Amino acid sequence: MSQNERVQEELEALEAILMDDISIIYNDQGCAELVKSTIFPSTANEVEKQYVCVTLEVQLPENYPDCKPLIKLKSPRGLDDSTVDHLYREIDKKCEEYIGQAVIYELIELIRENLTESNLPTCQCAVCLYGFSEGDCFTKTQCFHYFHNYCLAKHLIVTEKHYHEEQEKLPAWKRSTEGFQATCPVCREPISCDVHDLRSSLPPKELENAQKFELTHELKLLQENMQKLFSYQKSKGGIIDIEAEENKLLLITNSSDDPSDENSDDPGPSIPTNITEGSLENGLLKNQRCFNRFTNNR
Amino acid sequence: MAALPRRIIKETQRLMQEPVPGISAVPDDSNARYFHVIVTGPEDSPFEGGLFKLELFLPEDYPMSAPKVRFITKIYHPNIDRLGRICLDILKDKWSPALQIRTVLLSIQALLSAPNPDDPLANDVAELWKVNESEAIRNAKEWTRKYAMDN
């Protein structure tokens, strides 16, 4: 059997088994170049219980199967880097073992077994940056991104509030008629969730056991270097002088009159209350005071 | 002030453990929501060789709302005004809680590589950038050399 026939036979078998779950891309000469398949854990067809997936891409060099194919794992969902690295190592072993024989179906099975074993998202929640522990309530979006219910609810409530505030600022004819559409924080795909249901969940477990913050020696050194740079640039006239620039622009500087100041009832964010006068001798304090208004003012 | 949210602590730790090339961000001694930042001017941009100081502040409801960021070092750029304010969608309506301090600063660095005079914040700079790009780039280089160097 010629090489091409061997590959052809393997691909036909794959198509017969996997049907629509596999796609084969041919080059101009009609030779198969790339085989793609998105793999899910086996959960007896219960799609809502599949928490992870990955797309396998197998590139077939000319002398495959007498050499190893080139493997890429794309769009891993619910899998962290170390899990993906582990998969790559397993795949490489399998390919080594199967030189001279059809390997693609073996790879798909290998990946599926691995996904089935670790069918719990090992990634972090993109909102709080902590992982998912036993007992945490979490949501898998239709786009396969993971959030603690608690975190996702916060996101949805705030974005919906912002949406309505922005709409109210617009003249009636410019307002959207479609209403608020929730989107995934990671990929901005539209998502649909029940906020009331989500918000009743408890905060993620890992949050409670997280370490406290401490200023390390390394940080101190970095701070000192930054301070030196600041002083040097200031001596060269390279630092923006907020007051002088404001006078040039004739801006009104009384922030309590500023209607765009969304935090007017809460001075906390714009004025770091625990910085005392003179603790930053370089004028940063002054800049910080104006800061909130500056960024809101556009 | 309420205790520092764990997410901020985690981001700070990661910024130290896995720093982003060309970017450093250090929390202030007395306010861990206030970061001192240095962004290096990207290669092959008029800002190459410059060290730009910025300040970044995480508001009370961060990460539900965007950090507030401003250039402290003078910079000649159509999307950054004389007060150092930055015109960048992810700092406004395109903010998402999946973004982080590191991704925001990377976006700002990318903005230095790709000025967009069609969406200006500094009108005079944007105007020159459109009618006479080479002169605008010369100015940007000049400002970088004059204001954004280390000794």
pLDDT tens digits, one per residue of B67-120: 999 999 999 999 999 999 999 999 998 999 999 999 999 999 999 999 998 887
A267 burial type by CB count under 10 A (0-12 exposed, 13-18 middle, 19+ buried)? middle
Q: CB of B10 within 8 Å of any CB in chain A?
A: yes
pLDDT value of residue A268: 39
Residues of chain B positioned with their CB less than 8 A from the CB of A215 = 27, 29
Instruction: Say whether A275 and B31 touch across the interface (CB within 8 A).
Output: yes
Mean pLDDT, rounded, for B21-28: 92
pLDDT value of residue A147: 92
DSSP state, residue B65 = S
Residues of chain B positioned with their CB less than 8 A from the CB of A246 = 83
Cβ A99 vs Cβ A144: under 8 Å: no
Instruction: Say whether A229 and B51 touch across the interface (CB within 8 A).
Output: yes
Amino acid at A234: K
pLDDT value of residue A254: 54
Domains and CATH numbers, chain B: 6-147 (3.10.110.10)
B139/B85 Cα distance (integer angstroms): 19
pLDDT value of residue A286: 40
Instruction: Say whether A154 and B64 touch across the interface (CB within 8 A).
Output: yes
A104/A108 Cα distance (integer angstroms): 6
Cβ A166 vs Cβ A174: under 8 Å: no
pLDDT value of residue A272: 42
A81/B44 Cα distance (integer angstroms): 32
Look up the ipTM and state it. Answer: 0.80
Cα within 13 Å of Cα(A127), Cβ side = 23
Interface of B with A in 75-104 (CB under 8 A): 82-85, 87, 91-93, 96-98, 100
Assign A266 to helix, strand or coil.
Answer: coil
Assign A297 to helix, strand or coil.
Answer: coil
A100: left (phi over 0), alpha (psi -120 to 50) or beta: left
B43 burial type by CB count under 10 A (0-12 exposed, 13-18 middle, 19+ buried)? exposed
Summary mean pLDDT of chain B: 91
Residues of chain A with pLDDT under 50: 251, 255-298
- Measured between its terminal Cα atoms, the distance across chain A in Å is 71
Domains and CATH numbers, chain A: 3-117 (3.10.110.10), 138-208 (3.30.40.10), 237-296 (no CATH)
Q: Buried b / exposed e across A133-163, counting CB within 10 Å, b at 16+?
A: eeebbbbbbeebbbbbbbbbbbbbebbeebb
pLDDT value of residue A206: 74
Beta bridge partners of B37: B25, B54
B68/B51 Cα distance (integer angstroms): 20
Q: Buried b / exposed e across A205-231, counting CB within 10 Å, b at 16+?
A: ebbeebeebeeeeebeebbeebbebbe
Query: How far are the Cα atoms of A33, A271, A280, B31 from residue A276, in angstroms, in the given order?
Result: 66, 11, 8, 11
Q: CB of B22 within 8 Å of any CB in chain A?
A: no
Amino acid at A112: R
Residues of chain A positioned with their CB less than 8 A from the CB of B29 = 215, 223, 279
Residues of B assigned a catalytic role: 87
Query: In sequence order, what are the residues at sequence separation of 6 or more whose Cβ sits closer than 8 angstroms to the Cβ of residue A203?
Result: A148, A150
